[in-house]
Structure 1
Amino acid sequence: MAKARKPASRAKRRTRTTAKRNRRRPFRVGSLLLSWLLLVVVGLGAALAVYGLHLDSLVRDKFEGQRWALPARVWAQPLELYVGRPLTAEQLRAELDRLHYRPVAAPERPGTYAMRDDRILVRTRPFRFWDGAEADRYLSVRFADGKISRLADAGDGRDVALARLDAALIASIYPTHNEDRNLVRRADLPDLLVQTLLVVEDRGFYEHFGLDLRAIIRAAVRNVQAGGVVEGASTLTQQLVKNFYLTQDRTLERKLKEAYMAVLLERRYSKDEILEAYVNEIFLGQDRSRAIHGFGLAARFYFNSSLDELGIPETAMLVGLIQGPSRYDPRRFPERALQRRNLVIELMAEYGVISRAEADQAKQATLGLREGGGRPTGDYPAFLQLVRRQLQRDYRDEDLRSEGLNIFTTLDPVIQSELESATRERMPALDRGRSFPVGTLETAAVVTSVFQAEVLAMVGGRDPSFAGFNRALDAVRPIGSLVKPAIYLDALSRPERYTLVSTLSDRPVSLIAGDGKRWEPKNFDRKVYGSVELYDALARSLNLATVNLGLDLGVREVARTLANLGVARSFPVVPAVLLGSVSLTPLEVAQAYHTLANGGFRSPLRAIREVVDAEGRPLNRYPLAVEAVADPQAVYLTTWAMRKVIEQGTARSLSQRLPAGLTMAGKTGTTDGLRDSWFAGFSGDKVAVVWVGRDDNQPAGYTGGSGALVLWGDVMTRIDNEPLPDFAPEGIQLVQVVCGRTMMVPFKQGSTRMSCGRHRPQGGPDDETAAVAESPPSAADDGSAATRSSRRADRGDNFFLPGF
């Protein structure tokens, strides 16, 4: 029989229970800790996921939206080539040099040319104009007698009707941060550049997922061995993230964020999209206040070339700059940059991008830097002020804030260059001519085209590169006798009363002005000529004849004619208007004279042809607005009289400078006290206006014919001009007239009997088409000393009293 177990004491039972409980506690504590750990992990995961969604949103917004703050680029008009265009080989070479084309033995790449005995071979650059993109072309241009005699494809010899060189960049309007880029698409990246970039910066680019773990481990080992940072492991994707989204702070937090965003970027976008963004974003140098971003602009900035024009040495140098644009700046540290470039060339050879022979040859090359690359050509502050004003006038502010605009202007670089050269050369001579300290006299000038109403060139002062006060746009000065063609146009618009040989009264005038003072104008030479013919009064700029004519027409009618010609500025309609008390800017004068040159058709002068956005879409078109505002027959007759200004009147000194067959028309202008010297005139296809004076309104000492006319002649004889057209508008006929001398004079049909009352028709008393006059010589032709004095240059300009 078994022995009964004694019940355990209460104390022993408590001890055993406590021991069991203690044996179970570690399991419970571990389970609790594990639960908390899981909660932390889940929480961190959720936080990382939410943070990832935030970063992913940042990545997409930047990458799919407007990636870069692009400047608006302002372009000059391109040089057009066609058979018959007046152009010499030297002029074409100068334009190619201005566009940074390279002279070579045999042009093989875009942007190169070769001079031959009677021709130029040129490889043009591809360019996207406002009316579409044009591919590069290989052209042969021959010259003869100062013109293009043949234009052909240099490859197959076929004739080419028309070709354009790429437009010259004349300005960049930078966004807020002064960053600049020439965007390049992935398809346009040269293989040499892509392969070199990957060899030097990211050999596993097309395999990794944004982070290169092997590179990270390798770099960590080498850095530990070296006791410092000697090698990095950032992929191109990480570099793009750093430049695109993050600051340059070297913190662990920034590096982790960079890695996370790199992975997100790789998940969202293709390798080619990432590579394209990288080559356009990477910082590669500094040009004063302008940051150079991307390989496209860097190629221009350092070598004045496009990416596809670069060879092995240039490509290696650009890729080498990635490691440190400041440290390896080739202009500041050429030896350091050369060493870095040659190291890149070695890597190119080591990994088979180029051959060993190519590498050895490339390392012998110089850095090959060229100045001026990537910057606008020339300084055109006066013209660019006009461009900005017309942009503000014709576009909404929100349109102009759209970045990456391409603004195609009307500036002709050849004419602008000649205008600037003539200004710099002539103004010191004019100072010396009146014993002024150099810099005393100022000037402004405008050149426009007749048929397109385009401003081709402009200077706002004697220093064309000075970006201060623009006298061409803002110097409002009395125009003097430049007003007179409007008066004679008004008269000749009334053929029942006036013809070119109508007799005008050149006798004293005395009027009471609005302030109670008497207005008594005088001829410039203080002489009185009695009766003069209408055309001669304009040619010799006789004030008394003009005032009597204007009073007969009515001052308000003259003011209306000025408004029709394009004078929009208001002015007091008083008799002094007849002698030029109207104050205008040189551009406003150019507008009025352009209407005369254009046969009475008014077109607002423009400095902008087209504006397109970054994708090439037009924002707004500038159609050529044309309005008939004057009788073409009267304009033709007025122009005929203005030709006499140059042939025998106050501007006859110009006729000695013009080549044979080149006819022009114009008018001198001088204001009271010789304060303002003006000349405005036109050829068959150009209009030019020049003002010379002083900013302090003190006497300049020059009449229109001795001051402004000289500079005007300097400019117009340097540039290509067509003569005034020989044909007359319908309803005009030439008639032989004898009035002291025999000459052919144009008349509006039916108006010939309304010539001088002393005239009798040579063809018989019933010949309505003849207006041949036989009369004694006028005072202008009597050969006296007084008459000879009256024909001195400029003595016909006006003399008016201020205050009218």
Structure 2
Amino acid sequence: MQKQRGIGLVSSIIVIIFLVVFIALGIYLVRLDNIVRDRFEGQRWDIPAKVYARPLEIYAQSDVSRQDILDELKLLNYQSSDNYHKPGTFNSNNSQVFIHTRGFDFGDNSDPERVIEVNFVQDKISTIRTTQPSSTGILRLEPMLIGGIYPQHNEDRVLVKLDKVPQPLIDALIATEDRNFYKHFGISIRGTARALMSNVTGGKRQGGSTLTQQLVKNFYLSPEKTYKRKANEALMALLLELHYNKNEILEAYLNEVNLGQNGNYSVNGYGLASQFYFGQPLGELNTAQLAFLVGLVNGPSYYNPWKNPERATERRDVVLHNMLVMGKLTQEQYETEKARPLGVMNKPGVTAVRFPDFMDIVRRQLKQEYQENDLTNQGLRIFTTLDPVAQTRIQNSFENTVNQLVKRNPKQLTGLQGAVVVSHPENGEIIAAIGSTANFTGFNRVVDAKRQVGSLLKPVIYMQALQSGRYNWASPIQDTSIVIKGVGEKDWIPKNYSGTEHGLTTLQTALANSYNLSAVRLGWEAGIPTFTNNLRRLGVQSDIPNYPSALLGAVNLSPLEVLGIYQNFATGGFNYPTRTIRSVVDANGQLLQRYSLQVQNTIDPATAYLINYGLQKVMSSGTGRAGFNSFPNLGLAGKSGTTNDARDSWFAGYSGNYLTVVWLGEDNNKPIGLTGSSGALPVWINVMKQLKNTPNNIPQPNDVQWQWIDSTQNLLSAQGCAGAMYIPMLTNTIPRQATACGLSHYQLESSMPQESYVDEFGNPIPPTPSDQHQSGDAIENFIRESESPKPAEQPKPQVISRGGYTIGSTN
């Protein structure tokens, strides 16, 4: 009896233990089941924000050339093909380009896959035909992917839907990794037993995993190799198969599997791997290329095609043979695919950042408006203003020109650096940005290199002088030595860059030749606070020192800030904030934000017109002459800048549709021996040669008139009179007196045919009231001068006080 009780007690304990284990296992399985379902049914992946360039727009009569289209297709990795039957292919001859586009979803609208026939006459688009017409008449190539903003765990992927995956990829994967995928319930008993036996006996490690187990291992579990993890892998694979069908599991696997490493970023999924190794979408790859991608599953590093091409080819051929064995390839197809080269790109086709300096500006703008989490895991698509063809051409031009400058003086220019930024002034869109002559290190000189800008700020001084009504471009100004005495401070004695004085000159000549002494006199007359307020009005946010040398550019600004100043001049007095982003779309295609144009009137249009003229004279007869000679018919406007000891070389200038700022210098602020004209200007010229510039022809406001003005007496004059300058003027500042030579012209006008004038750039100048036929009574509006003009009276020495400083003649 005692024995039976003992047996009963043991049996009870065993039952209890069994129940406890069963309950514990059930709880554990429920916990695992929750993990499986929560992750699989929720947001499976952190999808980095993808950043795109602008799409190339193609329409009749646009200025897009045949070479522009071919260069864009090259950047998009389109393949030349005789029949262009597949998306991502094209065919070209001298007068036609046929393109089979891939189509693209922009979120708020979608472009279908289509074939486009583009016809050219004298390298201009004449006609376009397409299989899928556009309601707007504008056809677009898909925008180029230029980078991403990645999660903290540094994964990247391009999601693909199973119905978009080529069947040969699925055939190759199943034939190589899991031939019983559609038959098992998540685990392979034979494979698992074989792997356990090999691991226990110390033999060669084997996986024995099904595709479902591989997905679980990568999707849910840590990489540690323990029996507990292996047990969890098997249990979770069974649970995954219990809840989801094979196609759902296969699609998740295709997007999860690791297929390589791109620097700090892992390449996950076949969608991204296709771009990484071949630079093409998955649907455009041939069977051999797809087999190569499948072969990488066994070891992306071991089969790296750039480091181990022979090993990678052998593995690809194994996959092709598996397809042959499984009946997915005929013998003839197998031989054809095996004979193909690997076909991978010379270097990875997808990098963390394609154009790092531009991307850095994009990231900075985004971080002001979005949370970091939204940028790194919500799958946002950011469409930018970048023109990748222009960026590539400008980058090559920039590097070549800088290299030429270094070769001329290799001992002094050991660490020459630079920056270039280009925008469309009419909307503020930045189309190209380069912040280094070498690889990107995180220091973006377009934004971060705040250096003294020298004479680039002189137009702001002349703007104030012209706006005051006391000056015009023919007004005389002294360019002679001066001293500014500060209370308790060292005297400041500015000098011209040449070290010489130029005596009495005109405002036009002073700006064109960048005379320092003239600029200081003008700026000091208006005062430092006025100068500072004008800079603020033009968009400068950086600190502006409150001392006189600020008038000569002793202000630290970045190239991007300089671009912002000059956009006011290039638009005729309007400020469009610089921007790099056009729109942001979420993962579901919903438009989150569209960056519309914002404009502010910062300069009176009449004054802006006068400043534009002055900057044109800088190009035609001043420090920018080399630029004018390169583009004589565009009416370019610009200004050079050189700082003390030639530590910084600047040039900022614009055509009708492009504004470019260039800076050259060394990061350690050593002298480089280059002025704005000898350093930055050659770079600027070669950059502008990469662009399709239109003439700079700002409309003439009604309150501006062109007049002949005597440059010594600042009186009305006439064509042919000594010292006469034909300049634009504010109407309310036109003199009411004329020189003797000028007055005789007005007296004769009533009997002479009206003359028509064009400016030096060939633009017609509309007649002004003083150009019309004058009646005898109208002459009474002018005070007759003596028969011979009086010599210009030399200004008397002046002493002017401004803010605790005193300015006066040095003699």
Measured against the shorter chain, the TM-score band is 0.7 to 0.9
Correspondence for 1:424 among 387, 395, 399:
399
Return the letter of the residue paired with 2:733. S
Q: Please show how residues 41-60 of structure 1 align to structure 2 within 5 Å.
A: 41-60=18-37
Give distance in 1, aligned partners of 2:790 and 2:242: 95
Shift of 1:537: 2.8
Is 1:235 paired with 2:210? Answer: yes
Return the letter of the residue paired with 1:471. R
Correspondence for 1:179 among 133, 143, 155:
155
Match of 1:67 in 2: 44
Correspondence for 1:732 among 704, 729, 732:
704
Shift of 1:677: 2.3
Correspondence for 1:592 among 565, 568, 579:
565
Q: 1:632 to 1:83 in 2, by over 3 A?
A: same
Match of 1:274 in 2: 249
Match of 2:449 in 1: 475
Q: 2:49, 2:376 within 8 Å by CA — same for their partners in 1? A: no
Deviation per residue, 1:457-505 (Å, 9 max, x gap): 2222333x2425433323332222211111222233234x333333434
Shift of 1:777: 11
Is 1:513 paired with 2:486? Answer: yes
Is 1:663 paired with 2:635? Answer: yes
Q: 1:348 to 1:758 in 2, by over 3 A?
A: farther
Match of 1:535 in 2: 508
Is 1:167 paired with 2:143? Answer: yes
Return the letter of the residue paired with 1:361. T
Deviation per residue, 1:211-259 (Å, 9 max, x gap): 456x6699799999x9978987533222211221224455543333222
Match of 2:761 in 1: none
Match of 1:627 in 2: 600
Q: 1:776 to 1:297 in 2, by over 3 A?
A: farther
Q: 2:52, 2:382 within 8 Å by CA — same for their partners in 1? A: yes
Q: 1:493 to 1:278 in 2, by over 3 A?
A: same
Give distance in 2, aligned partners of 1:723 and 1:299: 44
Correspondence for 2:579 among 587, 606, 623:
606
Q: Please show how residues 329-344 of structure 1 align to structure 2 within 5 Å.
A: 329-344=304-319
Match of 1:117 in 2: 94
Give distance in 2, aligned partners of 1:265 and 1:755: 95
Match of 1:485 in 2: 459
Q: 2:192, 2:209 within 8 Å by CA — same for their partners in 1? A: no
Q: 1:404 to 1:540 in 2, by over 3 A?
A: same
For 1:367, what is the secondary structure of its paired residue?
Answer: coil
Q: 1:327 to 1:609 in 2, by over 3 A?
A: same
Match of 1:291 in 2: 266
Q: Please show how residues 202-241 of structure 1 align to structure 2 within 5 Å.
A: 202-211=178-187, 234-241=209-216
Is 1:568 paired with 2:541? Answer: yes
Q: 1:76, 1:410 within 8 Å by CA — same for their partners in 2? A: yes
For 2:350, what is the secondary structure of its paired residue?
Answer: coil
Is 1:99 paired with 2:76? Answer: yes
Q: 2:108, 2:591 within 8 Å by CA — same for their partners in 1? A: no
Work out which of the two has the higher radius of gyration on C-alpha atoms and give 1 or 2: 1
Q: 2:114, 2:132 within 8 Å by CA — same for their partners in 1? A: no
Shift of 1:669: 1.9
Deviation per residue, 1:279-316 (Å, 9 max, x gap): 11112233444322211122222222211112221222
Q: 2:385, 2:429 within 8 Å by CA — same for their partners in 1? A: yes
For 1:770, what is the secondary structure of its paired residue?
Answer: helix
Return the letter of the residue paired with 2:266. A
Match of 1:745 in 2: 727
Give distance in 1, aligned partners of 2:666 and 2:236: 63
Is 1:77 paired with 2:54? Answer: yes
For 1:707, what is the secondary structure of its paired residue?
Answer: helix
Match of 2:170 in 1: 194
Deviation per residue, 1:436-462 (Å, 9 max, x gap): 345243322221221221222222233
Match of 1:651 in 2: 624
Greater CA drift, 722-731 or 583-592 = 722-731
Q: 1:217 to 1:148 in 2, by over 3 A?
A: same
Q: 1:639 to 1:269 in 2, by over 3 A?
A: same
Shift of 1:529: 4.6
Q: 1:115, 1:121 within 8 Å by CA — same for their partners in 2? A: yes
Greater CA drift, 115-124 or 273-282 = 115-124
Correspondence for 1:265 among 233, 240, 249:
240
Match of 1:787 in 2: none
Match of 2:803 in 1: none
Q: 2:151, 2:377 within 8 Å by CA — same for their partners in 1? A: no
Match of 1:714 in 2: 686
**Structure 2 stretches lacking a partner, 5+ long:** 709-717, 751-767, 773-781, 793-806
Return the letter of the residue paired with 2:465. A
Q: Percent identity?
A: 39
Q: Please show how residues 317-466 of structure 1 align to structure 2 within 5 Å.
A: 317-376=292-351, 380-434=355-409, 436-463=411-438, 465-466=439-440
Greater CA drift, 439-448 or 628-637 = 439-448
Match of 2:653 in 1: 681
Match of 1:582 in 2: 555
Correspondence for 1:504 among 477, 500, 515:
477
Match of 2:796 in 1: none
Shift of 1:148: 2.8
Shift of 1:55: 0.3
Q: TM-score by structure 1 length?
A: 0.84
Q: 1:445, 1:690 within 8 Å by CA — same for their partners in 2? A: yes
Give distance in 1, aligned partners of 2:593 and 2:136: 31
Number of residue-to-residue matches in the alignment: 753
Give distance in 1, aligned partners of 2:136 and 2:184: 51
Q: Please show how residues 748-787 of structure 1 align to structure 2 within 5 Å.
A: 748-753=730-735, 760=742, 762-763=745-746, 769-770=769-770
Deviation per residue, 1:27-63 (Å, 9 max, x gap): x666555544443333322122111111011112221
Q: TM-score by structure 2 length?
A: 0.83
Give distance in 1, aligned partners of 2:412 and 2:549: 33
Q: 2:357, 2:444 within 8 Å by CA — same for their partners in 1? A: yes
Give distance in 1, aligned partners of 2:679 and 2:737: 35
Return the letter of the residue paired with 1:48. L
Q: 2:381, 2:586 within 8 Å by CA — same for their partners in 1? A: yes
Give distance in 1, aligned partners of 2:624 and 2:88: 45
Give distance in 2, aligned partners of 1:777 and 1:55: 102
Return the letter of the residue paired with 1:562. L
Q: 1:491 to 1:266 in 2, by over 3 A?
A: same
Is 1:138 paired with 2:112? Answer: no
For 2:678, what is the secondary structure of its paired residue?
Answer: coil
Give distance in 2, aligned partners of 1:690 and 1:777: 45
For 1:706, what is the secondary structure of its paired residue?
Answer: helix
Q: 1:758 to 1:681 in 2, by over 3 A?
A: farther
Deviation per residue, 1:677-700 (Å, 9 max, x gap): 221111111111122334443433
Shift of 1:188: 1.9
Return the letter of the residue paired with 2:170. V
Greater CA drift, 141-150 or 288-297 = 141-150
Shift of 1:636: 1.1
Correspondence for 2:671 among 688, 699, 703:
699
Return the letter of the residue paired with 1:770. S
Is 1:672 paired with 2:632? Answer: no
Correspondence for 1:549 among 501, 522, 531:
522
Give distance in 1, aligned partners of 2:789 and 2:651: 30
Return the letter of the residue paired with 1:47. A
Q: 1:251 to 1:653 in 2, by over 3 A?
A: closer
For 2:651, what is the secondary structure of its paired residue?
Answer: strand
Return the letter of the residue paired with 2:31. H
